Chains A and B, each alone.
Chain A
Amino acid sequence: MKAKLIKDTQAAPSAGDDSRLIEIRSIKFWPAGTVLEDKRAYRLVQLGVAEPADPECALAAGMTSEQMRIAQRQQEMVSKGIQPDDYQRYLDGEITGYDADGNDIPGPNYIEETEDE
């Protein structure tokens, strides 16, 4: 079955030297739009990494468009290393991730923490 990647996605070493791979800072990526054929391709759809590229994959994934949208949003958080406790803050636009010191990277709806006097 086949699934089409939504974003540039890090390739596993098992991808080998596939000619479609691109390399950025010594890390190999599948470019967005790459169609992968694999018996577990439906998992990529369920994980929000890809969309079905054939009826077999769509059937195996068994998701509505809305469920796929939610999975894609969740995968975005997980791949950025957002802590489970911060998922809602991310969804609310308060943070977009963390910097190298572990501090919040403010989002459009960031709420400044105030210190008690």
Chain B
Amino acid sequence: MAKVKVKGSVVKQDIAATLTAVAQVIEFSTSGAESETYDATTLDTVGAGKEYAQTGYSEGGSFDFSIFLDPALAGHQALTDDITTPAERDYSVTFADSGTTAWTFTAAGIGLNVSGAMSDGLKADVSLKLDQLFDYAT
């Protein structure tokens, strides 16, 4: 059991069948991963509580990360390449635990929002929509 620091974690992107580290990542998060359920409540459900059951599918959700954007940097250009020429890509996030656990996944699509403010550096928020699920460690 350990409390794992985020410092030293690495986000990697698929370029020419290699997983190559993305530079200048500030933060990352996942959201929306869940096992899918449906409302299984019927008129004769006993009690007030609604019933839910599993559909047998799971939603992979999305993987989001923020970077200090360098528009001239090849790795960041590789991200915008996928806006101009959409393609499924593999990604991974390697955690800074003692076993350097990695979750690999395939992104079906990418979203990229750039922000600039007087009081901050040039930043971009990248959102990756998962195709299927993370390759969670088990």
- Chain A interface, >50% SS class: mixed
One digit per residue, 1 when the CB lies within 8 angstroms of any chain B CB and 0 when it does not, for chain A 1-30 equals: 001010001111111001000000001001
Interface size class of B (residues with CB under 8 A): 20 to 34
The smallest beta-carbon distance between B128 and chain A, in angstroms, is 14
Contacts of A102 in B (CB 8 A): 5, 7-8, 96
Interface size class of A (residues with CB under 8 A): 35 or more
A58 at interface, CB cutoff 8 A: no
One digit per residue, 1 when the CB lies within 8 angstroms of any chain B CB and 0 when it does not, for chain A 68-106 equals: 000100110011110110000000000001101110000
* A47 contacts B102, C-beta separation under 8 Å: no
- Chain B interface, >50% SS class: mixed
Number of A-B contacts (CB under 8 A): 100
B16 at interface, CB cutoff 8 A: yes
**A49 contact from B8, B18, B24, B104, Cβ within 8 A:** B18
* B18 contacts A10, C-beta separation under 8 Å: yes
Interface residues of B (CB under 8 A from A): 2, 4-5, 7-10, 12, 14-24, 68, 74-75, 77-78, 81, 90, 92, 94, 96-98, 102, 104, 106
Q: A13-B90, A84-B24, A97-B8 known; A46 and B19 CB under 8 Å?
A: no
